[in-house]
Structure formats: structure tokens, C-alpha cells
Amino acid sequence: MPSTSGACARLEADVVAADAELVVLDPASREYARLLAEKERQLIRSDDPLARELADLGAALNRASSDTRECEEAHRAGQGAYEALGVVLRLLNSARTASTFDMFGGGLLADVFEHDKLTSADKAAWHAQRALDVFSRELADIGITAGPVMPKVDTRWFVDTFFDNIISDVLKHQRIEKTRAEVEKLARWVRDTCAYLKARRAQLLAETSRLLTRREELLRPA
């Protein structure tokens, strides 16, 4: 178990940190916080029995603060990944529309438009994968293991154009639809994970509020 002197040293450091935060409060709140900090100093210096609980509260508050920060960072990374996946989906939807038109005799113009959208989707998929990698690293920081991988966007054009017929058109359409469905599945996973992170952040903030209330109860003048 940590020594009393070690716990007191940590409490002293917490008080110093609290003093630094006072400048962002309004005058009334600043004065109240100053009084609480002074009461905490008195408890520490007098080796009051409450010092142990205050030390535990300080450690719990530090953990909650760190977990909240990491949760927020993961959520931001998830939002970035979701937006990147949205770009890929929009391009694949355009390619799918062109592919549908091509199956009903759209001709070379439909082929060119479709290929352009697929090429753009392939480039966007590269950026989406980078965003997913960042998201995975942030999730790892909060104990969630994930390794989402973007599906390959098929940009082959020469063979499809050379053998341009209803069969090749249907096969192209199926490839596009398969890729689009896989990207959509990834987007749903990112969205659901972000929803979990948002709920987790709310839990952490509620826990922080509870800990601060308890700390205030201990320090409030009798």
C-alpha cells in the first residue's frame, strides 16, 4: 500500500493543479473552489483521516479524466473514418447507377463515366483505409481491438470494354454492388462504435460528476 507521505505528495500536486484551473472560473465559483482547495491543504497538512479517501478520489478522478480524453479522441477518429467511408459510398453509388444504365445499352459514355467514378472511389478508399487505421489505433488505447480493412475497388476497364456485352455488364454491376455492400457494412460498424463511444463518454462524465460531488462533501465546512 502506498505510504501516507506519498499519498500526501500526490494530493499536494492535485491541489496545485486545481489552483491552476481556478483562473477559468467566474469570480464566485473561483472563490468557492479556492476555499475547497485551502480546506484540502489543511487536511493534508494535519494528516486528517480523510486524506486517504481524498487520495483515492484524486486517483479516480485522474483515471476518469484520462479515459474521457481517450474516448473523445477515439470518437473524433471514428467520425473522420465515417466521413471518409461516406465519400467512397457516394462514388460507388454513382458507379452503380452508371452500371445499371450500361446494362440497358448505355454505351461508351456510360462506361467512361462508370470507370471515372470507380477510379475516384479507389483513391477515396485509400484515404478511408488510412482513417480506419487511425481509428483502430485510438480504439486500442481504450482496450478495443479492431482491424477494419477496406474492400478492393475493381477498376479494370480494358477487359470489360473489350468484351462489352450484357454478361460482362452484369458481372461489373455485381462487383460494384458487392464492394458497395462491404463498404456500407464497414460504415455501419464505425457508426455503431461511435455511438458506443458517445455513451461511454456520458458514463465517464457522470462518474466524474459523482466523484467531484463526493470530494466536495468531504471538503465542505461542517
CATH number of the domain encompassing residue 174: 1.20.120
Relative orientation angle of helices 27-45 and 4-21, to the nearest 10 degrees: 170
Within this chain, do residues 200 and 108 fall inside the same structural domain, yes or no? Answer: yes
Burial, 59: exposed, middle or buried (Cβ in 10 Å; 0-12, 13-18, 19+)? middle
Within this chain, do residues 29 and 61 fall inside the same structural domain, yes or no? Answer: yes
Cα–Cα dist 143/145, whole Å: 6
Beta-carbon-side half-sphere exposure of residue 205 (alpha carbons within 13 Å): 9
Asked whether residue 116 carries a pLDDT value surpassing 70, the answer given is yes
pTM, rounded to two decimals: 0.74
Domain extent, residue 52, equals 4-67+205-219
Within this chain, do residues 60 and 170 fall inside the same structural domain, yes or no? Answer: no
Nearest to 175 by CA among 194, 190, 148, 156: 156
Amino acid at 181: A
Within this chain, do residues 95 and 146 fall inside the same structural domain, yes or no? Answer: yes
Within this chain, do residues 198 and 210 fall inside the same structural domain, yes or no? Answer: no
Asked whether residue 183 carries a pLDDT value surpassing 70, the answer given is yes
Cα–Cα dist 20/10, whole Å: 16
Q: What's the pLDDT score for residue 159?
A: 46
* 112: confidence class by pLDDT, cuts 50, 70, 90: confident
Within this chain, do residues 196 and 102 fall inside the same structural domain, yes or no? Answer: yes
Cα–Cα dist 98/96, whole Å: 5
Within this chain, do residues 93 and 172 fall inside the same structural domain, yes or no? Answer: yes
Within this chain, do residues 31 and 118 fall inside the same structural domain, yes or no? Answer: no
Q: What is the pLDDT of residues 124-176, one digit of tens each?
A: 999 999 999 999 999 999 999 999 999 998 776 544 554 455 556 677 778 88
Within this chain, do residues 22 and 97 fall inside the same structural domain, yes or no? Answer: no
Within this chain, do residues 47 and 84 fall inside the same structural domain, yes or no? Answer: no
Within this chain, do residues 28 and 39 fall inside the same structural domain, yes or no? Answer: yes
Domain count along the chain? 2
Asked whether residue 96 carries a pLDDT value surpassing 80, the answer given is yes
Grid cell in block for residue 131: 482513417
Cα–Cα dist 102/118, whole Å: 14
Q: What's the pLDDT score for residue 110?
A: 63
